[in-house]
Structure 1
Amino acid sequence: MQLPKLTPLQSRLLASAIASSLVIVLWICFQPHNFVYAAEIPVPEFVQHSELEEPIPQALPNAPAIDVRGNILEGGIEGGAYEGGYVPDFEYFDRSLIGRQDEEVRNLTKDESKTVELSPNTTVFFIFEKGQKSKSTRSVVVDGLDELDEPSAENNSNGDAIREEASEGPDGELVKRQTLNRTVYISVNTCQQPAPSINLITSPPPQLSLHVSSTEQKPEKGKNNVASIDFIGGYANFTTNTTRDLYIGVSAPGLTDGWNGSWSFDLAASTDGYYHSYDNDSQYMYMIDTDSDSTLFVTYNLTSSNSSAAVSDWAEWINNFTMYAFPTGNWSDMTGLERSYCGLKNQFDTTNKIQVKSNITTQFGGEHPKALFNVQGLETNKTYTGFLAVGGNTQAMQLPLGLAKEDGEVTVRGGGQVFKQFSWTTKADDSCQVLFGLPFCSKVAYAVPSSTKFKTDDAGLIALYDTLASSYYENFTRSLDQIACETTSTAQYSLARNCTHCAEDYKAWLCSVVIPRCEDFTATDPWLQDRNIGMLFSNGSLPYAYNTTKEYNATRRDRLSYNQSRVPMIDEQIQPGPYKELLPCQDLCWDIVRSCPAQLGFACPNPPADQLTYGARDPDGKILMCNFPGAVVSLNQMRGGVEMVGVRTALVVTVAGLAILFGIM
C-alpha cells in the first residue's frame, strides 16, 4: 500500500515530534537519582556462598511461609504471623536452604536436655541465653574463660551475684545499671559411641569434647576465649560465672581404622547444679556375697531416719536405683561410657541373661533403709564390672552421703548420677549359693553350703536352713521361759542385761552357726576353715589327693572338723562338695555368755578348739575375717561390748535337750 505523501509543513512537524521524544527519553535516563550504583550486598548468615552458586530450586507448590530461622509461620507471609523479623517475599528459597540455620545453633533451656546425633569430624553448637534465673549459691570459676565477669560481694535473694555497670546516657551523664551474674552448670553424657569393627581392638573408643565461650558464637578447640574439655568415660562438665549468653560446642573426632559408627549425646545447662552427675569418690555400694551365678549388693543408708514412714517413702523410690553389670575384658560395651548414665543404660543388654532385681531392706545395721540388689544370670568364675546409678526425676533427689564423705548430701537431678565403678569375681563351683529373705533368720544374706540340686531351688534351700534354726530357737525359748525375767531389779540375774538381750544375742549366734557362710574351696585366705575334704568335686577329683603324708593325715584327713560340715543336716540333705567356711565371729559366743542367765550354762570353747570353731575380727575393721549378722565384704563395722575374753570353759552345752553347736572337732 502506498503511504500518503506529506506536505513540507507536516514533515517538519513529524521530525520535531520525534526529536522531542528522543530528548525526553534521554533526559529521564540521565537523571542522577536513577543511576544504578554497584554495591556489595551482604549475604545473610544462614546463606553460604556455595549455596548461592548452586541452581536455585523452584518453589514448592503451596509451600508454607518460613522465617529467618527456618521456622514455619502458621499464618503465612501475608497473614502477618511473624513479627519483627525478615520474611522472604520470593518463592525460590525453600526449607532446604533457609532451614539450615536451625541446625547450626540450637537454644538450650534451663534444666531441659538436648539429645543430638553427631557424625565424626563434626561440631554442633548451642546457645544458653542470659536471663534464666538461678536458685543456687554455689560458684566455681574455671580457668579458660577470662572474659567472663567475676561475681561481686553483693548477692540478690536467689544468691546470684549482682554486678553494677556504668554507661553514658543520652545526655552524656553516667547511668548505673545492675546485671545478674549467674553461675551456670553445663554437663553432657555420651549416650552412644562408635563400635570396633575388628575383634583385636583394645584401646578405648575416641571421646567427644566440650567447648564453652561467652564471645565466640561457634566455639571450637583452639579458638580464642574458648574453654575446651575432653570427655572422660563419656562425661564432661563445666561451671562458670557470667552475665552474658553462653555459647557451647560439642565436637566429634575423626575415626581411625577399626572403628565404625557415630555418637549421640545428652547436653543440659542449669543455674541450680549439674543436670548430669558422676561421683568418682565413692561407690555408694558394697558387695554382700556372691556364688557361681549371682551376687548380692547393698547401698549405704538412704536416709538418716529409720522410721517406718522413711522406709515406706524409699520403697516408692526404689525404681530410681539401678545397677548395671558387664563382663570385664580388654574391651566391652561399657568401656568409654563408665561415667555416663544414658550410656550405661543404653549399653546394658538384657539379652545377655544378666538380670538385676532390687528392693528396700533394713536388715544391715541400724534398721535404716538401704537398696538391695540381686544380680542374676552371671557366669562361673568370671570377673564383672558393676555400676550403681540413680535415675533422674523432675524433682532433685537428696541422698545422704553416709560413709562416702563427711559433708552434705548427694543431689541427683534430671540427668541421673553414676557412682564409681567396682569389680568382683563369681565363685568357681556350685558348692555355695547366695540366700537372703529368710523368714526367721532375716539377717542372713550371704552364700551358704549348697549343691547342684538346689541351684534353681532357692525356696527349698531356704526352707531347710530356716526351719532347722527356728526349731532350735523354739527349744531355747522354752528354757528361757524358766528364768524369772519379769521381776524386780534386785531379783534379776543382771542389772546390765535382761532376757530380751539374751534372746536377741542367741538368735544372732544361732543363725550364724546353723547357716554357715560358704566360700570357694579354691580361696586361700588363712582364716577360712576347710569342710568336706573327703568328698569329691563335681568333676570327680578329690581335694588334697596329692598329699598323703602322715602329718597331713594327722592334721587334716583324720579330723572331723575338716571332713564334715558344722551341722549334720547339711551333709545329710544338701550334700555339698568340698568348700571352705568363713567361721562365725567369736564375739557372737561371748555375747550370749554375757547376756544370758548363768543357769543356762552357756560357755565358749578354749584354745586351740576355738580356732577351729570361731574366727576373730580384723582389728582394723577393713577385712571380713569372720561372719556376723549383716556382714558385707567391703564394710564390716565392729560390734561393741565383746571384750569378755576370760569366759571360756566348755565346748558343748545342752539346754532342754538342744545340742548347742559350738563346733565339731
Structure 2
Amino acid sequence: MILLRLLILLYTFGLVQGLVGDNLLPLNPFLGILEVGEKTADQPGPTIGKMEKRGYYTSLLDASAISATLRPDSYAMYQFPINTSSDTISNYQAIVFISGNICELPDGWNDTDSNGLSIYYTFNQTQWQNLDYKSMSSFDFYEGYAQELAHAQLTDADTNALTLYLTVVSESCADCLSDNTWTYEVGISQSNLVFQWHNESVASVVDTDSTSLIVWIDQGNASSSSSSSNNGSMTDLYNFFIYDPEDFVFVAGLARSWCAMKQGASIEYNSSSAVVSSVYRGGTWKQQFYFDSLTPNTTYTGYMLENFGDSNGGLVFEPFQFRTMESDECTLIYDLDFCSEVTYSVPTLPDMNNVSELAEYYDSNAKHFYTNFSYALQQIPCDTEMDARFSVVKTCDDCAASYKKWLCSITIPRCSTRNITGYQLYESGHSRLDKLNVESEIRPRSDYYEVLPCIDMCNAIVRDCPGDFSFRCPQGNDSIALSYYWETGGEYPSCNTVGVSSSSS
C-alpha cells in the first residue's frame, strides 16, 4: 500500500508515466483501454460477460490513436481523462472529438449495409461499468468510418476531473470463424477529429494515356509571379492510393477508412514515387502529380489521403475514377517550356518514344509559329495614352495570352483513343495542320481521335485582340464542328481548353 501511494504521488508530479497492472486503473491522462470481454449467450445485445484482462494502452497523447482487434459478440472498454484546463473548453462545456476506422472486416462478414461495429460513450462511470447501453449515447461505423462530438456540461465538481468512457461493441456474425476479427482504430482529441472523411474529391483528373495519369489539387488563388517554393510545401501532405478492379474488392464497405485505404491499395504514390510539382494553371497554383506504370484500358479507383503530419491520423477524400487509354497512340506530356499550360495526351510520333523529347518537339513547333504574331503585336500602340489604345478594357498582354493558348491548342492536338461525339478521326501520318496548309513534320505514327479545341478559345482572341488582326471565328454548330467543338458535359471532355482539367475523370 505504501508503494502504491508513493507511485501515485510520483505520478501526480509527473515523475512516473504509463503505470500498468492487473489491479490498477491506467494513470495516464490520455486514452487507455480498460478491458475487453465477450457477451454472454443468455442475454440479448451487448451485456456484461466474461472479462478478459488485456493490459492497458498507456502514455498516448491527445490526438493519438489506438489499434485493436475484436471478435464477434465482443466489446472493448476505454477511458479518456479530459484536460479541463484545455483552451478548447469554454463556457463550462467540454467537447471531445471521437473518430474511428475499420481497417479490416472479419472474413465471414457479408452484410453490405452495416460494418457490424458501434461505439457507445458516456461521461458516467457507473453506466459504463454496468454496460448500460440504453443510457449511453452511440454511433455506428459506416463504410469503415465513424465520428462523433461528445459534449459534457461542466459543473464546479468537474473542474478538476472529468472522464469520457467508451465501449466498442461488435455484432454477432453467423458465417465467421472463431478467429475472425474486426481490426479497427479509435482516436480521441479535444481539438479536432483524428480521422476525417470529406464527401468531395479535391483531386482533378487532368488526362491519361495508356499507362500514366496526371492529377491536380487546387492550392488557391495566387499570382503567377509568386514563389512556387511556398506552394511546394504541400507536397508531403498527400498520398494517393490507386486500386485496380481486382484489388478494390479488398476495401469493399470500407471506402471511408484511413487505415483500410493504406493497407489494400494496388499502387501507392507519394512524394518519392510520383513526379510532384507546383504549377500555375488557370489562374491558380496547383499541386501536380504524375503517375505511371498503370495498365492500359483499365478503370481505376483513386483515393487521396491528406496526412496530419504524423502517422496517427488524416483525411480521406471522396474517391475518383479514371480509365487509361487502350493503346499507345497517345502520350501524356506536361511542363512544356513555351506552351506551359499544355497538360494532356498528344499523338505519338515515330521514333520519339521519350516523353521529354516528344514534349520538346511539340513545344518548339508552337513557339516557331508564335514568332510572327509576336512581331505583329509589337506594332500595336499598347503603352500609349489611354485614348489611343485599341481598348479601354483589354491590353496587349490579354491578347498575347489568349492567342498563345489558342495557338498551343491548334498546333499541339489533344489525342484520344476513344470514339466520342465531337472527336475527329485522323489517320496515321496526318493531323489538323494538314487542313491549315501548314508545313509541319508532325506525322503521327497511328490513327487517333483529336479532342478539338473549344470554340471559346477562338472567341477569346476575337474579344481580346485589336481589330487590326481581323480575327474571325466560325458561326453555327455545323461550321464550328469542322475545326472546334463546345462543352457538353459527360464522362470525358467534349473539347479541349488549355490549362483546364478534364470536366470529368
TM-score, length-scaled by structure 1 = 0.60
Q: Name the stretch that deviates more: 307-316 or 357-366.
A: 307-316
Match of 2:487 among 613, 617, 622: 617
Q: How far 1:232 moved relative to its partner?
A: 1.5
CA–CA distance in 2 between the matches of 1:332 and 1:275? 26
CA–CA distance in 2 between the matches of 1:509 and 1:369? 21
Q: How far 1:473 moved relative to its partner?
A: 1.3
Is 2:376 the counterpart of 1:479? yes
- CA distance 1:309–1:188, shift in 2 (3 Å): farther
CA–CA distance in 2 between the matches of 1:192 and 1:513? 50
Q: Which has the higher contact order (CA 8 A, sep 6+)?
A: 2
Asked if the contact 2:451/2:496 (under 8 Å) is kept, the reply is yes
Q: Letter of the aligned partner of 1:589 in structure 2?
A: C
Asked if the contact 1:187/1:238 (under 8 Å) is kept, the reply is yes
Q: How far 1:252 moved relative to its partner?
A: 4.0
Q: What residue number does 2:430 align with?
A: 564
Structure with more of its chain in strand, by fraction = 2
The 5 A counterparts of 1:135-150 are: 135-136=87-88
Match of 2:191 among 248, 272, 276: 272
The 5 A counterparts of 1:441-590 are: 441-450=339-348, 454=352, 457-521=354-418, 523-524=419-420, 526-532=421-427, 535=428, 564-567=430-433, 572=441, 575-590=444-459
Is 2:147 the counterpart of 1:217? no
- CA distance 1:306–1:621, shift in 2 (3 Å): farther
- CA distance 1:459–1:310, shift in 2 (3 Å): closer
Match of 1:593 among 448, 459, 462: 462
What fraction of aligned residue pairs are identical, expressed as a percent?
A: 26
Q: Deviations over 1:217-260 (max 9, x none)?
A: 3476x733133322112211121211442211223455554887
- CA distance 1:441–1:219, shift in 2 (3 Å): farther
Q: Deviations over 1:107-141 (max 9, x none)?
A: 665322223344454322110124444544xxxxx
Q: Deviations over 1:172-207 (max 9, x none)?
A: xxxxxxxxx31111111223444589xxx8969954
Report the aligned-residue RMSD. Answer: 3.9
CA–CA distance in 1 between the matches of 2:344 and 2:503? 13
Q: Letter of the aligned partner of 1:448 in structure 2?
A: V
Q: Deviations over 1:492-546 (max 9, x none)?
A: 344443332222111111111111112223x33x2222222xx5xxxxxxxxxxx
Q: Deviations over 1:557-578 (max 9, x none)?
A: xxxxxx9311359995552422
Q: Letter of the aligned partner of 1:337 in structure 2?
A: L
Asked if the contact 1:202/1:331 (under 8 Å) is kept, the reply is no
Q: How far 1:438 moved relative to its partner?
A: 0.8
Q: Letter of the aligned partner of 2:67 in structure 1?
A: T
Is 2:142 the counterpart of 1:232? yes
Q: Letter of the aligned partner of 2:339 in structure 1?
A: C
Q: Name the stretch that deviates more: 258-267 or 424-433.
A: 258-267
CA–CA distance in 2 between the matches of 1:294 and 1:505? 29
Match of 2:258 among 335, 341, 345: 341
Q: Deviations over 1:35-61 (max 9, x none)?
A: xxxxxxxxxxxxxxxxxxxxxxxxxxx
Structure of larger gyration radius: 1
CA–CA distance in 1 between the matches of 2:224 and 2:360? 30
CA–CA distance in 1 between the matches of 2:455 and 2:225? 33
Q: How far 1:631 moved relative to its partner?
A: 2.0
Unpaired segments of 5 or more residues in structure 2? 11-19, 25-33, 36-52, 155-161
- CA distance 1:314–1:494, shift in 2 (3 Å): closer
**SS at the partner of 1:370?**
strand
CA–CA distance in 1 between the matches of 2:146 and 2:404? 50
CA–CA distance in 1 between the matches of 2:384 and 2:260? 64
- Equivalent pairs, count: 454
CA–CA distance in 2 between the matches of 1:382 and 1:571? 34
TM-score, length-scaled by structure 2 = 0.77
Asked if the contact 1:186/1:238 (under 8 Å) is kept, the reply is yes
Q: What residue number does 2:54 align with?
A: 103
**SS at the partner of 1:82?**
helix
**SS at the partner of 1:442?**
coil
CA–CA distance in 2 between the matches of 1:469 and 1:373? 25
Q: What residue number does 1:249 align with?
A: 167
**SS at the partner of 1:191?**
strand
Q: Letter of the aligned partner of 1:472 in structure 2?
A: F
Unpaired segments of 5 or more residues in structure 1? 1-66, 68-76, 86-94, 137-157, 163-180, 395-412, 536-562, 637-665
Asked if the contact 1:134/1:183 (under 8 Å) is kept, the reply is no
Q: Deviations over 1:343-368 (max 9, x none)?
A: 21232354899x962534343322x3
